């Protein structure tokens, strides 16, 4: 690939490629492009395709590290809560849209870069890199953190207050009716819902990186008398399919990885992929963390939890995680910080060029 290609050229190329794979929502894609111009962190969130291209150009050594089950589009706002099959409320990586098999360092590099760009994290970049690298290297494989665990108390202040249930479901049902969801996906959504669920389906606009994908939400009461909601989002091929021809070492698709990762971290019991769509539970207590107002001590503890949650995803292949952790222990914090600085500069440069 010509390294002189601009962010705008690569964005157009990716958008055309995606539109050839699945129907895209043009208005949502326009909204995404507008969001990308607002700040550097939002730009990073919306341009995973560009991230992969720039890593191959500017940090190719990161691609020579051990392969693991990779989150891919990882950043500091890609963490939140869910309920597992036993109704235990857990916290960890809550967006697995871009799963693939690839070099472990890509996840940690993107996480650290996002922390350096996030407006609500004030820790020195060198400290961010040291914390993430050390905690990833020493993380133990296991399920993601249960919020009732005493070691999770530092996360309590980061979770928004539960919304009013009535208002929450009313807002979800305010979207215009959705008539594009395949009948088989509707049936599978009901299959993993509470018995007797009677939803209406509505168009939903959410996220940043996946804006442009068709997305809707089913909302309605179930046989238990309570309201429930399930989101359905059309996936299409992962971004790594678009990026793969640029460097064979970039992440590769792995169709069986989603189920393995959910089993490893004890992910949401109602999540599944079917016929190219992803189904997941929506509820007032299924939330993302809130980063604003963090104290430096809490920032370090939060980054520790993020590094460990990243390792838990990688642990879907235990031998691969062990190999990655051996390399993490051998990688100096200064060398890691230099890679992060390179990618922070790449994002800043592309952001300025894209908004010009």
- Tell me, letter by letter, the H, E, C secondary structure of 67-90: EEEECCCCCCCCEEEEECCCCCEE
Specify the pLDDT at position 194.
Answer: 86
Specify the pLDDT at position 288.
Answer: 84
Specify the pLDDT at position 356.
Answer: 62
Q: What residue ranges do the domains of the chain occupy?
A: 7-355
Specify the pLDDT at position 1.
Answer: 43
47, 105, 117, 124, 299 from 63: Cα distances, Å: 19, 8, 22, 26, 28
**Cα distance between residue 117 and residue 271, in whole Å:** 31
Specify the pLDDT at position 158.
Answer: 80
**Cα distance between residue 70 and residue 320, in whole Å:** 11
Backbone φ and ψ of 198, nearest 5°: -125, 85
Please report the sign of the dihedral spanned by the C-alpha atoms of residue 263, residue 266, residue 269, residue 275.
Answer: negative
Specify the pLDDT at position 258.
Answer: 94
- Cα of 124 vs its chain's centroid, Å: 24
- Tens digits of pLDDT across the chain (356 residues): 445 689 999 999 999 999 999 999 999 999 999 999 999 999 999 999 999 999 999 999 999 999 999 999 999 999 999 999 898 999 999 889 999 999 999 999 999 999 999 988 889 999 999 999 999 999 999 899 999 998 888 887 788 777 688 899 999 999 999 999 999 999 999 888 888 999 999 999 887 878 899 999 999 999 989 999 999 999 989 999 999 999 999 999 998 999 999 999 999 888 889 889 999 999 998 888 878 777 777 888 899 999 999 999 999 999 999 999 999 999 999 999 999 999 999 999 999 999 76
**Cα distance between residue 76 and residue 200, in whole Å:** 33
Backbone φ and ψ of 290, nearest 5°: -110, 120
Listed in sequence order, the residues at least 6 apart from 32 whose beta carbon sits closer than 8 Å to its beta carbon are 46, 208, 211, 212
Q: Is 266 helix (H, G, I), strand (E, B) or coil?
A: coil
Residue from 99, 88, 101, 96 nearest 143 by CA: 88
Tens digits of per-residue pLDDT, 270-298? 888 988 999 999 999 888 887 877 777 78
**Cα distance between residue 79 and residue 265, in whole Å:** 13
């Amino acid at each position: 690939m010509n390294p002189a290609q601009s962010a705008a050229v690569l964005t157009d190329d990716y958008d055309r490629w995606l539109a050839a794979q699945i129907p895209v929502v043009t208005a949502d894609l326009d909204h995404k492009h507008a969001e990308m111009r607002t700040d550097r962190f939002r730009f990073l969130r919306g341009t995973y395709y560009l991230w992969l291209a720039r890593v191959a150009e500017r940090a190719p050594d990161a691609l020579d590290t051990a392969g693991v089950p990779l989150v891919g589009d990882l950043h500091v706002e890609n963490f939140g809560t869910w309920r597992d099959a036993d109704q235990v409320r857990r916290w960890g990586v809550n967006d697995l849209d871009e799963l693939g098999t690839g070099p472990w360092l890509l996840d940690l590099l993107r996480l650290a870069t996002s922390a350096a760009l996030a407006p609500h994290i004030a820790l020195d970049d060198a400290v961010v890199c040291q914390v993430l690298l050390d905690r990833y290297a020493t993380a133990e494989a296991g399920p993601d953190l249960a919020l009732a665990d005493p070691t999770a108390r530092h996360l309590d202040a980061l979770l928004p207050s539960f919304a009013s249930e009535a208002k929450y479901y009313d807002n979800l049902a305010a979207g215009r009716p959705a008539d594009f969801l395949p009948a088989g996906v509707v049936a599978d959504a009901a299959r993993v819902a509470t018995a007797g669920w009677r939803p209406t389906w509505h168009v939903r606009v959410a996220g940043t990186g996946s804006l442009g994908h068709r997305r809707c939400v089913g909302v309605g009461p179930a046989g238990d008398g309570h309201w429930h909601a399930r989101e359905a989002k059309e996936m299409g091929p992962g971004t790594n399919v678009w990026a793969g021809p640029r460097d064979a070492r970039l992440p590769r698709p792995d169709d069986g990885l989603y189920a393995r990762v959910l089993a490893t971290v004890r992910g949401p019991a109602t999540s599944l992929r079917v016929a190219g769509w992803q189904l997941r539970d929506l509820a007032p207590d299924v939330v993302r963390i809130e980063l604003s107002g963090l104290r430096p001590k809490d920032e370090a503890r939060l980054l520790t939890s993020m590094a460990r949650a990243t390792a838990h995803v990688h642990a879907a292949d235990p031998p691969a995680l062990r190999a990655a952790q051996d390399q993490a222990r051998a990688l100096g914090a200064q060398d890691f910080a230099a890679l992060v600085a390179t990618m922070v500069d790449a994002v800043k440069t592309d952001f300025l060029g894209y908004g010009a």
